[in-house]
Structure 1
Amino acid sequence: MIWNVNVGQNIFEQYTEFSEVNWLRVWAATKETVFMSFASVVAVFFLGLVIGLLLFETQEQKSLFSKIINRLVAFFVNVFRSIPFIILIVLLLPFTKEIVGRITGPVAGIPALIIAAAPFFGRLVETGFREIDRGVLEAAESMGASKLEIIFKVLLPESLPSIVAGITTTAISLVGYTAMAGVIGAGGLGNLAYLEGFQRSQPTVTLVATVFILIIVFIIQITGDILVKNVDKRS
């Protein structure tokens, strides 16, 4: 019993030595994580909408061109959704070097984040479109609405709650991806937790980085929930 108390006290002391935390570095790492997450979410949102639209619009088309587009996009989505992110970011290092000019830092982590998350969000967008009542789409078509009018006046408005919920889920996943990207030099709270927390045996730094990541996730989730309630016409 005494041994257990001593062990517990040692663990407690490890996590209460906040003097080893460089708060300026924590703040800088937090800004890097927010930057990577925000920039990626914006790009993933628009790219995912395009992917979802392509999958939805070509799924029941009989033309050869539509079938080819559907198969190609579906193949792209399935492949990049299946690759673990930590492996994907390593595979994309030459591509990142080519378009960004470097393989370290927050900017260098963004291409892999986008490629990893866009297929996932694209599937969520497609699912949102599938949930729309077919009668609504047929009514719009019978009234002579063009394809663009159907997309912007029917598909997107009717599926908006699902899209907002989907981008919220994707944004939370991206925050987790930034932590993994940080391990191989992308910066952010993941890099801080690994280099200064784990490698230098400073568990308090890891704890602080984890708490800040949780705060970011909670803010995203709360914001997403509020937006879903505001755009959901059924509520």
Structure 2
Amino acid sequence: MFNKLFPNVELQDMITATNETLYMTIISVLGTLFLGIILGLLLFLSRPGGLWENKFLNWVTAAFVNVFRAIPFIILILLLFPFTDFLMGTIRGPKAALPALIIGAAPFYGRLVEIALREVDKGVVEAAKSMGAKNSTIIFKVLLKESMPALVSGLTVTAIALIGYTAVAGVIGAGGLGDFAYFYGFQRSDFDVVFVCTVLIVLIVFIFQFIGDILTRSLDKR
């Protein structure tokens, strides 16, 4: 039945492309989580009235975030080719897409982290200060802990954006479903391949959204 409906789809190749998309997404989400939290904390803590108030640090961090958020992802990939080649030893394949994916998504998530931290009740932070808590304790035990549901929700949004980024990266040889849809579907006019790739990408998005929603709800109940 499947072969009759989609005669040009090679099942094994499609599985490989799906695995590549999942690999790029999961690794880049982890990298984005790490770098995004650092950027968000720097933006929040170095702002006027923050724990690490520092006008220069805040300006530099904000400039980095704003610049890389403003660059279209397809252009960012091209700009990072020399860096990617130096770091990964190649500019093709799923691994080569990771630097651009992380650098492209981390500033976006960093802003979401900053917004989440701003929503933390100032009274809780002041109470921690009055009890003599160190800055590190306030950051990890108060700010990050209290904002955890919003951080997970923001990461879910970012992960879904990254799935779209992997499809864009695939057009220039990063592999994955985007690569498969373009080179083996669109360029050959085999639109059943494009359709199946689209369905699989939508399913991956739904799975990530489902997992993110469950985690957010469980954290909200704590």
Both structures adopt the same fold (TM-score exceeding 0.5): yes
Greater CA drift, 211-220 or 54-63:
54-63
Q: Alignment partner for residue 172 of structure 2, among 175, 184, 195?
A: 184
SS at match of 2:172: helix
The aligned counterpart of 2:68 is: 80
Task: Give the AA of the match of 2:157.
Answer: T
* RMSD (Å) for aligned C-alpha atoms: 1.6
Structure showing greater Rg: 1
Unaligned runs of 5+ in 2: none
SS at match of 1:107: helix
1:45-68 deviation digits (Å, cap 9, x = unpaired): 011111111000000159998211
Deviation at 1:233, TM superposition (A): 3.6
The aligned counterpart of 2:46 is: 58
The aligned counterpart of 1:159 is: 147
Deviation at 1:101, TM superposition (A): 0.5
Query: Are 1:211 and 2:206 counterparts?
Result: no
1:132-191 deviation digits (Å, cap 9, x = unpaired): 111111111011000011011100111001000000000000000000000000000000
Greater CA drift, 60-69 or 157-166:
60-69
How far, CA to CA, are the matches of 2:80 and 2:54 in structure 1?
29
Greater CA drift, 182-191 or 90-99:
90-99
Instruction: Name the CA shift for 1:125/1:145 in 2 (closer, same or farther; >3 Å).
Output: same
Query: Are 1:142 and 2:142 counterparts?
Result: no
The aligned counterpart of 1:23 is: 11
Number of corresponding residues: 219
- Matches for 1:33-112 after TM superposition, within 5 Å: 33-61=21-49, 66-112=54-100
Q: TM-score, normalization: structure 2?
A: 0.95
Task: Give the AA of the match of 1:19.
Answer: P
Instruction: Name the CA shift for 1:112/1:202 in 2 (closer, same or farther; >3 Å).
Output: same
Task: Give the AA of the match of 1:158.
Answer: E
Task: Give the AA of the match of 1:128.
Answer: A
CA contact (8 A) 2:105 2:158 kept: yes
Query: Are 1:127 and 2:115 counterparts?
Result: yes
The aligned counterpart of 1:169 is: 157
How far, CA to CA, are the matches of 2:120 and 2:147 in structure 1?
7
How far, CA to CA, are the matches of 2:69 and 2:182 in structure 1?
25
Instruction: Name the CA shift for 1:56/1:185 in 2 (closer, same or farther; >3 Å).
Output: same
How far, CA to CA, are the matches of 2:9 and 2:51 in structure 1?
61
Q: TM-score, normalization: structure 1?
A: 0.90
Task: Give the AA of the match of 2:132.
Answer: G
Greater CA drift, 84-93 or 57-66:
57-66
Identity across aligned pairs (percent)? 57
SS at match of 1:19: coil
How far, CA to CA, are the matches of 1:209 and 1:26 in structure 2?
8
Deviation at 1:40, TM superposition (A): 0.3
Unaligned runs of 5+ in 1: 1-15
CA contact (8 A) 1:197 1:204 kept: yes
